[in-house]
Structure 1
């Protein structure tokens, strides 16, 4: 049975320092001075205000940075249109949101296509397409802001790692979103998509047209379109399939890596931090969870927060069930509450 440590918010202001001292001591037992660590997190969109507190991440980073050979902050580019669609603007957004205290690595490069294929041979994928720069690190510390999600029910460490470390083509694979669509009312015929397409799959005669036979689903046109006219058919994948695919990508990203996991159950919102606007928390703050086991920590988070804010047709435990099935960890856990 895996251990999950709960640092409950029992005061008006959570005592980050004592909590992080204890979490850092557990992390230092897992990693040594020769390890290169990627601290995987979501930097939040420019207008979001409930994403991870950068001071929390900074305090944790400072506690572990001198213990290991190298530590960096890491994410991959997003699939949808955003400043986080490209490497340099992604870094600028991260720094603007307060994550300017450590090296930032966007693992899939400037355009999201710098990737490595990892053999997994599971139900949905034989190989997973993971941000290539993750290869340079033998350890991953995942610190996730736990939120609701309209497609998977919740987003914790499994989503932070699985979806978060997939390259842009990998994210397209997970969403089964290869038949990209052009909104003709929004398209202005500027030809930016035509210029960026690596396969010349887009023709523009007043309006853009995507040749589905030629399109490789790289997603470049989604981010480059200045009007956001290239649409992703999100509904092509069922919730269960999407959850399983995210879990398979988490399996790939963590394969042969040392790992540790943190879920921050503060400012829990109905939608994830990819929403580029302020959101209001939907339940009371609970605290911070830490564990060696990615499945146990996500299951404990589901148990502690309940399912009132999750769409009725989505079972968030499908991802923990499937993760246990493929050997990522175990659902059964011992919850240990730490006083601070």
Structure 2
């Protein structure tokens, strides 16, 4: 079987060019020009960033993608679905204000911004998952499924539950309606190490479901009947007092994300772009961003989202560790236990489980050739 091609360019921008020109060149090399976009609706799936976070992709990248789509006669729109957790993107109105605040407007990006699962996250399409083992019918934001072409524009960064977030995460979890996100998250329920808990109550402020309460000793406890397993409390706790008691839960989450991603792209023209810069340890869903764990790497594109994510992970693992980062702190305390930057940053994660399952269900290939553009 022929290897998937993943195209790469670095972040150098010498006089006479710029990163946006390089991005469009990268897209054309990866096959954008071969996609029939004439009079087609083209969903550009992107994460608008939680206000307060400054590592999300700049709107300029989105405009470069939208402009190329319009050059080919397509009708692009930027899109994302509503979130489960407490924040500024849990309904379409707040989500749009957050997107505008972070610079994603029709004026700046050259195309409309549409929240795919509607006002309250309930506007969904039920999509069969061919070969699904965990999900038989994915709940996907309707506007995503109404599109003729799917382009994912992804900020490749770390994640406290999945190891990293790239094309699979942006497509699978990102395109899931609120019910779809709950279905993906529900296998893992965190617990509290009461000896480490200091009663700061930050975790409860990040819980959208009222699952965290405090006893007379000021220690937190989690009601698993209310918890949906979204993992926000894991990322919020600065004292490592919240942990995932079910080590297989994150593996199952990655597998469900792969199945949701397959539901989104199956049988449709697609292109996927990972921009590997500002590689923060946490997801852009956080209302803050930590110091990047590695230096900026570059831009990658492919029609195969699995090969794309694997190529980016391999490239990241070849990079030096950023001094003073969370990864550097973890290495200083525990050593290079896992020989992987993302798992060393969050030892409860195993991103390879998602890649392996995506290959198993036919979403893409783990065999790739990296083609470097000058």
3-state SS in 1 of match to 2:354: helix
Match of 2:264 in 1: 253
Match of 1:8 in 2: 10
3-state SS in 2 of match to 1:84: coil
What 5-or-longer segments of structure 1 have no aligned partner? Answer: 187-209, 223-232
Higher relative contact order (CA 8 A, sep 6+): 1
Separation of aligned partners in 1, 2:45 and 2:348: 30
Match of 2:116 in 1: 107
Q: Could you tell me whether the CA contact under 8 Å between 2:23 and 2:299 is conserved in 1?
A: no
Q: 2:362 aligns with which of 301, 311, 327?
A: 327
Kindly report the root-mean-square deviation, in angstroms, between the aligned alpha carbons of the 2 structures: 2.8
Tell whether 2:281 aligns with 1:281.
no
Q: 2:304 aligns with which of 293, 302, 317?
A: 293
* Higher alpha-carbon deviation: 243-252 or 272-281: 272-281
Match of 1:147 in 2: 157
Relative to 1, partners in 2 of residues 1:178 and 1:114: Cα closer, same or farther, differing over 3 Å? farther
* Aligned residue-pair number: 302
Q: Any residues of structure 2 matched to 1:40-79 within 5 Å, and which?
A: 40-79=45-84
Structure 1 residue 256, shift from structure 2 partner: 2.2
3-state SS in 2 of match to 1:130: strand
Relative to 1, partners in 2 of residues 1:248 and 1:104: Cα closer, same or farther, differing over 3 Å? same
Match of 1:308 in 2: 341
Q: Deviations over 1:265-301 (max 9, x none)?
A: 0111111101101322111101000111111100101
Q: Any residues of structure 2 matched to 1:1-340 within 5 Å, and which?
A: 1-10=3-12, 15-25=18-28, 26-101=31-106, 102-120=111-129, 122-176=132-186, 181-184=210-213, 238-306=249-317, 307-310=340-343, 311-339=346-374
Match of 1:227 in 2: none
Q: Could you tell me whether the CA contact under 8 Å between 1:37 and 1:68 is conserved in 2?
A: no
Q: Deviations over 1:55-114 (max 9, x none)?
A: 121122122224233110010001101110000110111111011132111111011111
Q: Could you tell me whether the CA contact under 8 Å between 1:118 and 1:130 is conserved in 2?
A: yes
Structure 1 residue 234, shift from structure 2 partner: 7.8
Q: Deviations over 1:153-181 (max 9, x none)?
A: 11100000000000001100100169954
Q: Could you tell me whether the CA contact under 8 Å between 2:188 and 2:250 is conserved in 1?
A: no
Q: Could you tell me whether the CA contact under 8 Å between 1:72 and 1:104 is conserved in 2?
A: yes
Structure 1 residue 24, shift from structure 2 partner: 4.1
Relative to 1, partners in 2 of residues 1:245 and 1:18: Cα closer, same or farther, differing over 3 Å? same
Separation of aligned partners in 1, 2:369 and 2:350: 22
Relative to 1, partners in 2 of residues 1:80 and 1:61: Cα closer, same or farther, differing over 3 Å? same
What 5-or-longer segments of structure 2 have no aligned partner? Answer: 190-208, 216-222, 233-242, 318-339
3-state SS in 1 of match to 2:140: strand
Structure 1 residue 302, shift from structure 2 partner: 0.8
Q: Could you tell me whether the CA contact under 8 Å between 1:172 and 1:178 is conserved in 2?
A: no
Normalised TM-score (structure 2): 0.74
* Higher alpha-carbon deviation: 14-23 or 111-120: 14-23
